[in-house]
Structure 1
Amino acid sequence: MDKLLLALNLVRIISVLCCFSAAAYTPEDNYLISCGSSAGTMVGQRFFVADDDSGSVTLTSPHSTAVRASPGSVPVSDAAALYQTARVFAAPSSYSFKIGRPGRHFLRLHFFPFVSQSHNLAATSFKVSTQDAVLIDSFTPAKNDMSEPVRDEFLLDVARDTLVVTFVPLAGDLAFVNAVEVVSVPDDLMAGPARTSLGQQLIPAFLPLQMAYRVNVGGPAVAAHNDTLWREWTNDMSYLASSSADIVTRELAYNGSLDHLAGEATRDDAPDVVYASARQLVMSTMVGQMTWQFDVDKRPASYLIRFHWCDIVSRAPHLLSIDVYVGSHTVVTRLDLSTIGGNGTLAVPYFMDFILDSSDPSGKISIYVGSSWSMKGNRSAFPGPILNGIEIMKMHFSSGSVVVVEPTAGSKKQNLAIVLGSICGAFAVVSIAFALVIFLRKKEDKLLPSPSQSPSSTPWMPLLSRFSLRSRGPGASEAGSSSFAVDKDTPGAIPIAGSSSPSYRFPLAMIQEATDNFDERLVIGAGGFGKVYRAVLPDGTKVAAKRASPESRQGAREFRAEVELLSGLRHRHLVSLVGYCDDGGEMVLLYEHMEHGSLRSRLYGGGAATALSWAQRLEACAGAARGLLYLHTALAKPVIHRDVKSSNILLDGGLAGRVADFGLSRAGPEPELDETHVSTAVKGSFGYVDPEYARTRKLTAKSDVYSLGVVLLEALCGRPAVDPRLPKPMVNLVEWALHWQGRGELDKVVDRRIAAAVRPQALAKYGETAARCLAERGADRPAMEDVVWSLQFVMRLQDDSGLDFSDVNSLNFVRELTPPSDPRRHEDEAGGEEEGATATDGEYTDVSMRGVFWQMVNVGGR
């Protein structure tokens, strides 16, 4: 056995040395893993080791199985041996690789869903992530044509000393992988600048790039062993579009020597066979272009496109002139390849990078190559335009949650110490909790509800039944509250004690029936608290059930905050709480069902729903501002939402914006005590958090104003607050949009779907409002009431029959208008209402506790 292992290792070393001796680049990190195999596997000139082999690779697989394909189930190919085995995971598991040289690395994942005696790998669904990004959000072989193996390739910037690749089964399915490659690449592979479709020159950001296409144009397919970095190149014929019978192309092959100039393309950028072959447009009397078309993701995304050229057709310098377009964008015109070396040298390998900032929703990328001489008289005197190679890489970033299964480390003694420490810690926590429960029982025994109405305990919050819910105060009207109501005779529904609002406590059995026992097919959203399910109560009422996840970082505190807060507040621009459930160890919140989903999903969520118009976006933002104004002014102390974002603004049947998700909300400063802020830990969502709050931990209502300012830009630009897929200057929406706002050119970043509908006067006012909301200092931001006023003014400016003021450069214009007196205020001054009553009437909701609003604008749908 030892001799056999020695022989295998010797073969491995010899094969690797032979491979490297022919390569121009020797990678410091070069991991080739055959997953599920019990022995090494030779593929061409490379040796893939078994994944349970000891070394610098750690397999974390508490529930994994090594499986082998049934005879004849793997198609015959040069790499067929690699797909005869697989590692199957029943729970999140990972491979961990020690990184010797931080920097760019190829990560290649091999998949082929074969059938074995115990598994059908086609019936799987899973995702793959590293420590920094979700690489594959949902890999489902059954939904794709997997008759041939798939090799997903990513170019990652690895800054850590360990790369952890985690496989996560979805919805109770399995995950699998046949082989994994981790190979470091030269530092200068992605070091050069790229032209963008916005006319900028940028160096591609260090974010994951997913290979979509790598094409040897006009030449043969190139196998991995003929590339110094083991890349595979396909032929271009299947992508070549025949737009006209008059467009004729031909394939070229060059037998001369290539002139690799210093600072230009090397054999690591593309093999010589790519630069020594090309496709050329045959010049004719017709004006034409060579066209290639590639299928990509229908969801808008950014792509890095690399064009490879080598002038192998010209007999003299300055004859070849090339124009290139991607869709409607110009990449380059009058490209003269003989000028690259500066002295008219021909046959010089060269590449050019272009960033397509957003792909077409049709899911197509079209590339056109034509001649700059096409309008001249004697076109036959000039060689036709050529192209040697194309690489298309998705600037990849998924918004899904990263899952990392770190490898176990340490000796058995360390593990024993961890176990003993955990046991002792758990015992101490249980003892303290037990003593606390006894103390509270003795102190509050008389205050406990009767057994018939006492909620069941839950491991997350055993004392839930003891908190009191805020009453809205005497005299509070229901006239303007949401039209939603639960039948008070609904079986099992118990009104929440201490609250006059229509919120109820529901038994778990009813929730399970309403959600088909939390069927995954009914999931309509997910967040930090847990998943949200579409549900139907016994009386036919549609609700949204938000179920806490035990793995969530949010829990009992957020659950309690929402129940307490929403049971005491009602407003037409807040999502109303229907009830809650804390039976059987569950925490479930029931809300009104918002049939049009979140503002985020209707802006850029990628669903089938029609995008919102400019007027609808304005109304949604104004509605959210009104809801936040109510939170800030309805009670003696303002309620600060602390998590304002487009996914927490929901749209009802009339597309009116409603503020949702109050798990992070908290009471603000006490005005009567002259408090200016509350000091608290920083919480919120990345990209929306007030920078002053993040820096000082001083929370004010102006923090919500800042977050709403980010939402205003999202609505205008139709893109996320932070999008790492984009070039570096565009990643942060606030910085990008305020740059153009400061130049007076905000129209350049308006969502192209609504750009034609936005009136210049309305855009100027809207941009100024957003900029003031996003002021660095909270003191420089407007109050929420000013934001509401300003958005209403924007809607009036947008109205074709509305105002057309030239002076819309300041919020002061709106504030200087004198509001008329409100008859209800006179009634209050005359003692018409009891002291301490809160404004909850729907017709009263735009009334600030510090002043009465004049409804200058009559906005439809309010």
Structure 2
Amino acid sequence: MGFGKYGLFIWVMSTMCLIKFSLQFDPIDNYLVDCGSPKNSSVGDRDFLADTSDHHFLSDPEQASVSTANSQPISSTYGSSLYTTARVFNRTSNYTFPVNQHGRHFIRLHFFPFALDGETYNLNDLIPATALTVELPRNHHNLMTQALETVARVNMGNQTVSPENDTLWRFWNSDGHFITQNNFVKYVKNISSVKYTAGGPTRDIAPLSVYGTATKLDTEFSPGALLNMTWTFNVDPEFSYLVRFHFCDIIEHPPSQLVLNIYLNSMSVAKDLNLGERMSNVWGAPYYLDAVTRLSGKNMLNVSIGTSLALGAYPESILNGLEIMKISNSKGNLYEVDTGTKSSASRSKQKVWVVAALAGGAVFIVVVLGCLFFIIRRRNRRKSLIVKQSMQQSLSPNMDTDGNAMFSRSKIGYRFPLIAVHEATDKFSESLVIGIGGFGKVYKGVLSDGTQVAVKRGAPQSHQGLAEFQTEVEMLSQFRHRHLVSLIGYCDERNEMIIIYEYMENGTLKNHLYGSDLPKLNWRQRLEICIGSARGLHYLHTSSSKAIIHRDVKSANILLDENMMAKVADFGLSKNGPELDQTHVSTAVKGSFGYLDPEYMTRQQLTEKSDVYSFGVVMFEILCGRPVIDPSRPRGMVNLVEWVREWRKRGELEKVFDPFLVGKMKTESLEKFVEIAEKCLAEQSVDRPTMGDVLWNLEFALQLEGIEVKRRETENDSSTGELESGAGEGSVGDFVGVSMSRVFSEMVKGEKHEMR
């Protein structure tokens, strides 16, 4: 769609005004901090405060501060003084600022890499100055002047290590899905045997949870065999990689008998490595080994630990942890492949490309002129078409009782004639009823092209009337997402209020939890349904400039398709969230009893956190397999949330579990699930997590169950689309057209601190 006559001029002026406004913006809460600096500094007309103990910003000001030993000036774009100091954290610390104005605040974090003076702060343990290169000729690779990017951080023993169990808040993934042949390996755990020794690795190198678990050769399966254990990782070719091997002999045999062969892509890193000798013959003492390898033309890195019979050793192999870091190339780049010096052939190709670019530019100009001509002609034709449609619309029954258009013209494509709905439902045959709700009955239907649909028909006496009908159609027609039920169409002829959805084969989540004879859901299915529902709600909350608040999140409004994938449904009560400068929307209380946010009920203040509270109630439903409100139960058990909290206080939470789940859940996964639900159910909305945080922690709970979470980056689904308002700028997997809060959520997923 092209600009109007003055569209381009208005757009340019609006942008300039916005830039000017942002430059003049002077917030009440305006904190500028120079991290690691011993004194205050100035950058232009901005004054930055040092984060020393004088200003009480940093909870632990004794953390090391460092400055660059290189006095060469940094680009004035960044400010030379601001980017010459930094604060290095080797334990959990917080910056705390008093806030005078409630609402949204903009936070900018500044980063700039520089070489550290080894005498100022010793990082040689965490980042080795040099490492042995696994290639010919062998040499030592200087790492202190290069950037590193974490590719994988893996804990052996098929045990995940959460950030709260690591002194540097790192997440260690379990190795189960990286190992290529797990039928002859064995996972062992013996944390009590780990002994950190003077001069050896510290807890900052790797925590007890890493050195205390291991993957080893199953000697019972293959006694005396000379075998390798191999883990495979996806990497980018044409880069070098730092690989750190973590070892700790936690197996009860003399350490001198543990001798290993270590390989990276079949190239030897260490042959006949006497692990006992490297551990000073102290059983349970940690040890690590660093190596660098370069991958040319390969996108897979194989790490192998093999047995050795040297020194009379018993054929045993073991690995406790592994870290893989991509190393920046000669350009200082971690993403663009360094192709090296260009050959004469390459330069000739470059000339060809220059000529091609010039020719392409000329073609582009011709195409642009042609497009402008086409746009102008199309606009003129559209004007005449609109006039014709307006005349037709005046004769259409798509009007409310006052003669006003019920929906915007963009929704006309979704409108079905009543005769088509009658054909699809056999004139609303009672034999096709699949559900009854406050709006009316829901029928299973089949369109003329064979598509199965669900048809929701508003009853004349329904307390959910025209407003909810219009809201649901308007909301559903704006978005497409794999975890939101899709709108097929609607019908409003002859005072009918009919909405047509995609058909969900397995009905509601509620019916699978209680009140029906449907098969029970196992714990994995319940976790995946929670994750799918959270993804749908997170999309609603972040997909446009203003959040869309569902306002009726409950198990009856979570539907399951033929693959048991969850989709959030029923948007009749949905409402746009607050503006950027507001904290809430004041509105009458609507929703379902038992799921309502107590803060919303008492103050009539609606936020995205109201959906979070309702979702926490659903999580307890999923855990317990019973209704939220059950008057048939004894006093004290009627309200699900209160009942669960009471048994939680007593330390007997297992008494509330769905009996079908007892003994079928891993403790770590269960505890994480309950922790998330309780945080969702905080009395004050400010104490509740966002749906993005809930989603991340649910995926973590699924990983703790020993199940790999399917990465959204690989889920290309035709049902995803973008908001018709044009708020989005592209799509990756589940999400389309999301705001920066969604992008941030995805960026930190691999290394995000666990929700506190």
TM-score by length of 1: 0.39
Higher helix share: 2
Higher strand share: 1
